[in-house]
Chain A
Amino acid sequence: MGGWGLVKRAPLLEAEGLAIRIGERWLCCEFSLSLRPGECLALLGPNGAGKTTLLHTLAGLRAPSVGSVRVGGKPYADWPGSSVACFRGLLAQQQPDHFAASVLETALVGRHPHLGRWDWEGAEDLRITREALAAVGLEGFEARDVLTLSGGERQRVAIAALLVQQPRLYLLDEPLNHLDLHYQIAVLDLFRSEAADGRGVVMVMHDINLAARYADHVILLDGRGGVAAGTADEILQAERLSHAFGHPLRAVTDGERTLFIPD
């Protein structure tokens, strides 16, 4: 992995003493994290544990109840205007489409934070967008209406729009939604290579085995306010996972990788 030489560089994302409360319920007790260029972090946990809320907090879209979040070394409040959108990008869990629009237009929206108020997208923006569409296997889809796409194709358009945004920190909410096996691996390989280029990746995931294969760090929410944060090897233990997901899991080794299988 080419990115390991970059590990010593300044963190892209830091959380200190972070805790999140919704109403009366604490989603996670205080914990800290630090993500450096080249690293992938997976957020795991059962339904409703607060993975998305935590990701949105890390994205600066909601304030933490306790503690602080810093991106690129400073709190969100210290980023002037919308400049932080050039540094961190969010892939939302759902892609609501209310109006017809071409795939090209939809992906091109990722250029928004890079353009001034009166700028129109130029040849360079179009080139970046076409490249991103090609990177997710959507070459030739430029003129298609997003309302006619399949779920997996629409998800890949959203990923392309995020690539077009060119952030240094990717925050992905279930990036594998709707994707078939081939594109699940392709998308994870893609973000792994983005990380190797000196970017950081945080992703909410459901597949423990893919998390084990692609993540350097894991944050595991247990849905009862408990948080375990650490390296993938530390956190991905059968007993811990069984407890968090409320279903017994077994670790099986095929000689190279450890796989977790539900009993």
Chain B
Amino acid sequence: MSPPGSRRALLSLVGLALAGALCLLWALAAGEIAVPLGDVFDALAGGGDGMQVAIIRELRLPRAIAAFACGGLLALAGALMQVLLRNPLADPYVLGISGGAAVGALAAMTLGLVSWMVDGAAFVGALSAMALVFGLSRGDGAWTQTRLLLTGVIVAAGCGAVVSMMLALAPDTRVQSMLFWLMGDASGASRPWPALALLALGLLVAMPFSRELNVLARGELGARALGVPVERLRLLVYVLASLLTAVSVTQVGSVGFVGLVVPHLIRLALGNDQRLLLPAATLAGGALLTAADTAARTVIAPMQLPVGVLTALIGVPVFLFLLARHPR
């Protein structure tokens, strides 16, 4: 926790961007058919062996980009939620977004709809949960973060019950694909570029407010006294974090852990200045999920692990290590 400085921030971000690029390269090179790095660059440029080009550009690149974008979306949304709720235990799913998305996706699967309609239903479900939590927690006009948090947790619990019911009632042939969706899986991601664009857009929207978020993180009354338009800022953060989460859940399902732990990792390593935390968490989240997804499809190849399992397996020891190094 050294004094804030834009130079140090820049260095940290450059380092994290390099780590992200390395993870992406690994994701492109590794797999059942290992491709040497030189050939990876050739394939990206459009040259080289036809099969390698197909594997890299049509299979691995979309999946790697999807993993990177969703990791970034979740980490950014998690960081924003933690400031909004002033609760270090908040994650992107705490307000019921993933629950709503799961209800939508599973309902679409129950009806036997095709994949893009399942994605659409997941997105609609996520937005419905967001609107429901927002409407209920505003109720009488007061908008405390405790009430928001409780409303979100209850809506999430309700969604969980509906999901369990649909799983129990679904025909056996469909349960497998439903469980895969719930665990979080990047293998089906074929159109990842909109998610990446939204990630960049989300960061661009959040960054101008990052110092105001620093003030808000220290308490609402103090923020209002320092001239921060708290109501508007909270609305912006709520809608932005919810949208980012909805996009990610639609793309890869509810991958856990990234949104909770990555902001904490960055906070422990670099401090709680949102001007640095938001972009750093975005890059670190992207790098972590890309690495985890690559590991998920290579460690026991040809079988695949759910990526959520690996994000936890990588994240938990790193997090505990950092926590032990910073005794209070």
Interface size on B, residues (CB 8 A): 32
The residue from B86, B217, B226, B326 contacting A112, defined by CB atoms under 8 A apart: B226
Beyond A96-B86, A101-B272, A145-B1, is A81–B219 a contact (Cβ under 8 Å)?
Answer: no
- CB of A252, distance to nearest CB on chain B (Å): 38
B4 touches A165 (CB 8 A): no
A120 touches B6 (CB 8 A): yes
- Stretch of A35-43, A102-110, A243-251 that contacts chain B: A102-110
Of A105, A108, A113, A165, the most chain B CB neighbours within 10 A belong to A105
B227 touches A83 (CB 8 A): yes
The docked-state distance in angstroms from the alpha carbon of A137 to that of B323 is: 31
Residue of B nearest to A165 (CB): B226
Which residues of chain A from 111 to 139 have any CB-CB distance to chain B below 8 Å in the complex?
Answer: 112-113, 115, 117-118, 120-121, 126
Complex interface: chain B residues within 8 A of A112 (CB)? 211-212, 214-215, 226-228
A105 touches B1 (CB 8 A): yes
Interface size on A, residues (CB 8 A): 38
B225 touches A92 (CB 8 A): yes
Complex interface: chain A residues within 8 A of B227 (CB)? 81-85, 112-113
Query: Chain B's interface: helix, strand, loop or mixed, by majority?
Result: loop
A99 touches B272 (CB 8 A): yes
Complex interface: chain B residues within 8 A of A118 (CB)? 208
Residue of A nearest to B227 (CB): A82
B226 touches A109 (CB 8 A): yes
- CB of B9, distance to nearest CB on chain A (Å): 9
Beyond A99-B267, A112-B215, is A82–B228 a contact (Cβ under 8 Å)?
Answer: yes
B1 touches A102 (CB 8 A): yes
A61 touches B221 (CB 8 A): yes
Residue of B nearest to A79 (CB): B227
Complex interface: chain A residues within 8 A of B226 (CB)? 82, 85, 109-110, 112-113, 165
Which residues of chain B from 227 to 245 have any CB-CB distance to chain A below 8 Å in the complex?
Answer: 227-229
The docked-state distance in angstroms from the alpha carbon of A120 to that of B275 is: 9
The docked-state distance in angstroms from the alpha carbon of A61 to that of B229 is: 11
B222 touches A92 (CB 8 A): yes
Residue of A nearest to B219 (CB): A96
Residue of B nearest to A113 (CB): B227
Beyond A120-B6, A148-B328, is A100–B225 a contact (Cβ under 8 Å)?
Answer: no
The docked-state distance in angstroms from the alpha carbon of A112 to that of B274 is: 14
- CB of A192, distance to nearest CB on chain B (Å): 22
Of A61, A89, A106, A112, the most chain B CB neighbours within 10 A belong to A112
Residue of B nearest to A121 (CB): B4
Residue B218 CB within 8 A of the other chain: yes
Complex interface: chain A residues within 8 A of B272 (CB)? 99-101, 105
B4 touches A120 (CB 8 A): yes
Residue of A nearest to B326 (CB): A100
Residue of A nearest to B212 (CB): A112
The docked-state distance in angstroms from the alpha carbon of A98 to that of B218 is: 7
Residue A143 CB within 8 A of the other chain: yes
The residue from A61, A81, A85, A143 contacting B1, defined by CB atoms under 8 A apart: A143
A105 touches B4 (CB 8 A): yes
Beyond A112-B227, A120-B6, A126-B3, is A101–B271 a contact (Cβ under 8 Å)?
Answer: yes
Which residues of chain B from 170 to 221 have any CB-CB distance to chain A below 8 Å in the complex?
Answer: 208, 211-212, 214-215, 217-219, 221
Of B1, B2, B6, B88, the most chain A CB neighbours within 10 A belong to B1
The docked-state distance in angstroms from the alpha carbon of A227 to that of B122 is: 59
Residue of B nearest to A144 (CB): B1
Residue B5 CB within 8 A of the other chain: yes
B218 touches A109 (CB 8 A): yes
Residue A147 CB within 8 A of the other chain: yes
Q: B residues near A, CB below 8 A?
A: 1-6, 86-88, 208, 211-212, 214-215, 217-219, 221-222, 224-229, 267, 271-273, 275, 326, 328
- 13 chain-A/chain-B pairs, Cβ below 8 angstroms: A81-B227, A84-B227, A98-B218, A102-B1, A104-B3, A105-B3, A109-B222, A112-B226, A112-B228, A120-B5, A120-B6, A145-B328, A147-B328
Having A101-B1, A109-B218, A143-B2, one finds 9 other A-B pairs with CB under 8 Å, namely A61-B221, A82-B229, A98-B86, A98-B88, A100-B1, A100-B326, A104-B3, A105-B273, A126-B3
